[in-house]
Structures are given as structure tokens and as C-alpha cells.
A and B are shown apart, each in its own frame.
Chain A
Amino acid sequence: MSQSAPQHIHAEELATVEPGGEWHPKIVAFLCNWCSYAGADLAGVSRLQYGPNVRIIRVPCSARVNPQFIMKALQNGADGVLVSGCHPGDCHYISGNLVARRKFTLTKRFLEFFGIEPERVQFSWVSASEGGRFSELMNRVIADVKRVGPARRLVKNLP
């Protein structure tokens, strides 16, 4: 149904080329509700600058992020995907991010094995108090993705 998450991981909506002609990558960020999302919020209220082409999808825990979400974002044209949760030990659900870490370890290596650029899919930990770290992280990811250019691999060719 139209409300379902994956259908809405549409990066297409994001403006990709600014009037000046500079290419801005489309980044989808899956942030855990308790730490990273709050960190992003703090970055916002603290007026810390980071690239505008990020669309944040809030998830209850980084462990909620299924590799299928990442694939779906890439398929729908995201140039980069970031997943961020609480620092190990700080999970709201005690160990969600530790289980997630195993999943992400494999996801990261596996996607690279197929030939997906390592810059495209990144994982991080950001706490609720780390607004500065969040904006630095975003800028880092944006710079990385800019370096490798627009996503081609895995992007679904649709009219």
C-alpha cells in the first residue's frame, strides 16, 4: 500500500542539479529514533551546516534497517545511503545496534564484493548529544559520494 516504507524510499524527489550546475548527490539516511535522529535534530537547532540533499528516514532502531531498505534506496536512485544508530553500549533497546552491527559488517563487505562503491553505503554511530558529529558525518558522506559521482549500478531504469 502506498503508506509502506520502501515505496517511499524515493530519492527522485531531491533536486540533483542546482541552478549553478553543480551536482548534488541524493543521500538517504536511516537514523535511529533515539540517538542519531536526535543528533540530526540537535545539528538542526544548533544551526550547524551540512549538505541539503539528505533525506532522513527515522527508524526505531538501527537494527530495524534491513539490507533490503538499502537496496531499495539504491534501486530508486539514491547516490548514497547512510545508516546510523546509537554508539555500541548505548542502544535504547540494550543490544539492537550490536545485532545490527553484525548485519552491517556483512552488508558492507557483500555489496563491495559485487562492485558497489564503498562510498555509496556507509554506517556510523551518532549519539543524541553529537550534533556536531552528525553534521561532520553528513558532510563526509556527501563529499565521499560526490567523489564517486552519480549512482549507476543497481539503479532501476524506469521511464
Chain B
Amino acid sequence: MNTSVSERNATAGRAGNPYIPYPVTIAEITVENEARDLKTFKLVFENEEDRSAFAYLPGQFAEVSVLGTGESPFGIASSPTEEDYLLFTVKLTGTVTAELHASEPGRRIGVRGPLGNTFPWDRLEGKDIVIVSGGFAFTTLRSAITYMLAPENRKKYGNIFALYGARSPGELMYKKELAAWKDSQDIQLHLAVDRDPGEPWDGKVGLVPNVLRELAPKAANAIAMVCGPPIMIRFTIPVLQELGFAKEDIILSLENRMKCGIGKCGRCNVGAKYVCVDGPVFSFAELEKLPPEY
């Protein structure tokens, strides 16, 4: 919705063929939660020219390719300001994710991308930012926060408010980053868990929409970015509207089954829009006009 597709690199894959992945190596695997079904993979490009060709902005995704098993699309969790690597946080769900979870550092895999549109960075400039997220959908917002907090970018944005909720403290991802952001003056980070965790906990207790209503971030000159499970989104949008956010100022990210990631294979469409190229980032105003096929 912001950067048009043609402005970005037209080649999503090696040698100008968008179907062929760039070779990358898994440099590090971090288990993100107590349930151990979320792992973050740090990927390093094998070729410098691939790394520089892979120019992205927060909000985009990529197809992670495990030869012999297949490809799956994941939101990019790293920020372009973290130049040396890509991060993907992967939930153990199907065949590709199982193969990834069974991998050890050092394994060579592939990445195709960057794919899709970005958060509306032009529009976000000069605005207060309200980030609302629940569960493991936090990935691209980690990217967005890291990007905005980078010294060269921070002054472009006003106040940054972030609310991140999970079922229990053990399910919150990116512990290191969260700790750093909590101490930072540049962002007001609020953590929440669904119910009393029965352990020392200095964050909020309650479901994300309720905590959001309680914290009531200001809507004036602000844009909200919301990522989370469908049920959370459904109850969060009315709260944001109560707080005064216009439909255009509520930014969401969609997911649909994908294969090609480049608008050809025809399966991820919602009406005439393809999530892989016209999305995944849509405003609530845009989504309202589309049929509910996601």
C-alpha cells in the first residue's frame, strides 16, 4: 500500500529468476518460548551480492525454502538496520516448519524475497505509533520496532507505544529485545499475559483488547499497527475505533496460503487483491472493502 511493487527489486530470487532461492546458512537457532514450538532462525547470506539484492523494509515477508520439503512464507522478523542477517520466527505447524525445527545451525537452506508490501513507512513519518500485538504474530512488528528505534530513524517518528501480549510470560518472544526496550526512553513497552501467571510478573494481566482499552493510547496524529490471531484482531479493532482511530489509520497484516509469493500462482487472493503482492499489509479501511476470504 505504500511502496509500489515495481519500485522495489523486481528479482525476488537468484539470477533474476524469482522462483530460485538465494542460498543462506542457518547461523543460529533460538528457542523463543517454553512450549518450544517457536524458534527464531538467524540466516546469513552466502553471497554478498545476494545480501545487497535482498533490500527490504519491515512488513515484508520471504519464502523460506528447505530443499526436499518445500517452501513456506514467513514475515521477516529482522530489521534492515540489522544488516548482517535475516531473522525468521517459525511456529512448528506443518512439514516445512517441522524440517526447520529439526535443523541444526550450519544447515544450508534458501530464501526467496523480499516479497509483498511494507508497513506504510511514508505515512508513518511524523506520527505517533501504536503497536498492538498478540502471540507469535509479533515478528514483523519486532522488525518495525527495531527499525524505528535505530538511531538514524528514531527522530522520524513521534511517541512509540507498544503493547505485546501472550498467554503466559514463557510465551513472550524476543526476551533480550524486550528487556532492552523496557529500559529505553524511546518506546513505551507494555507486556501483558492473558491470566494471572502464578509467578512474579510485573506486566499487565488481561486479554490484549482489554489491556489496550485500559492503557488508552492517544489516537491524535497516531497510526496503529496490529498483528495477532484473528480473534484478537476482531476484538482489538473496535477498541481502537473507540479510542478514535480512523479506519485508514489501523494497519493490519494478512496471511493466506501461498506458493509463488509473486502474484502468479493464484491462491492467496482476497477478492482482486493478492496477499503476496498487494499485501500482506492492508489498512482496515481497505480490508473492509474486500470479501472475507482470509
Q: Are chains A and B touching in the complex at the 8 Å CB cutoff? A: yes
* A binding-site residues for B, Cβ under 8 Å: 1-2
Residues of A within 8 A of B98 (CB): 1-2
Q: How many Å from the CB of A34 to the closest CB on chain B?
A: 31
Residues of A within 8 A of B221 (CB): none
- A-contacting residues, B69-110, CB 8 Å: 95, 98-99, 102
B68 closest partner in A (C-beta)? A2
In whole angstroms, how far apart are the Cα atoms of A2 and B95 in the complex? 8
B98 closest partner in A (C-beta)? A1
* B binding-site residues for A, Cβ under 8 Å: 95, 98-99, 102
Residues of B within 8 A of A1 (CB): 95, 98-99
- 6 A-B pairs (CB sep. < 8 Å): A1-B95, A1-B98, A1-B99, A2-B98, A2-B99, A2-B102
Residues of A within 8 A of B99 (CB): 1-2
Q: Is the interface of B mostly helix, strand, loop or mixed?
A: helix
Q: Is the interface of A mostly helix, strand, loop or mixed?
A: loop
In whole angstroms, how far apart are the Cα atoms of A1 and B68 in the complex? 11
Residues of B within 8 A of A2 (CB): 98-99, 102
In whole angstroms, how far apart are the Cα atoms of A113 and B3 in the complex? 60
Q: How many Å from the CB of B37 to the closest CB on chain A?
A: 14
In whole angstroms, how far apart are the Cα atoms of A153 and B200 in the complex? 65
In whole angstroms, how far apart are the Cα atoms of A125 and B102 in the complex? 39
In whole angstroms, how far apart are the Cα atoms of A2 and B101 in the complex? 11
In whole angstroms, how far apart are the Cα atoms of A1 and B95 in the complex? 5
In whole angstroms, how far apart are the Cα atoms of A1 and B98 in the complex? 7
In whole angstroms, how far apart are the Cα atoms of A2 and B98 in the complex? 8
3 A-B pairs closest in CB distance: A1-B98, A1-B95, A2-B99
Q: How many Å from the CB of B203 to the closest CB on chain A?
A: 36
In whole angstroms, how far apart are the Cα atoms of A2 and B68 in the complex? 10
B97 closest partner in A (C-beta)? A1
In whole angstroms, how far apart are the Cα atoms of A2 and B69 in the complex? 9
In whole angstroms, how far apart are the Cα atoms of A92 and B125 in the complex? 73
Q: How many Å from the CB of A6 to the closest CB on chain B?
A: 13
Q: How many Å from the CB of B94 to the closest CB on chain A?
A: 9
In whole angstroms, how far apart are the Cα atoms of A2 and B107 in the complex? 16
Q: How many Å from the CB of B68 to the closest CB on chain A?
A: 9
In whole angstroms, how far apart are the Cα atoms of A129 and B8 in the complex? 71
B95 closest partner in A (C-beta)? A1
In whole angstroms, how far apart are the Cα atoms of A24 and B186 in the complex? 71
Q: How many Å from the CB of B103 to the closest CB on chain A?
A: 11
In whole angstroms, how far apart are the Cα atoms of A36 and B98 in the complex? 34
In whole angstroms, how far apart are the Cα atoms of A1 and B94 in the complex? 8
Q: How many Å from the CB of B180 to the closest CB on chain A?
A: 36
In whole angstroms, how far apart are the Cα atoms of A1 and B99 in the complex? 7
Q: How many Å from the CB of B175 to the closest CB on chain A?
A: 28
A1 closest partner in B (C-beta)? B98
In whole angstroms, how far apart are the Cα atoms of A2 and B67 in the complex? 13
Residues of A within 8 A of B102 (CB): 2
B69 closest partner in A (C-beta)? A2
In whole angstroms, how far apart are the Cα atoms of A2 and B99 in the complex? 7
B101 closest partner in A (C-beta)? A1
In whole angstroms, how far apart are the Cα atoms of A2 and B70 in the complex? 13
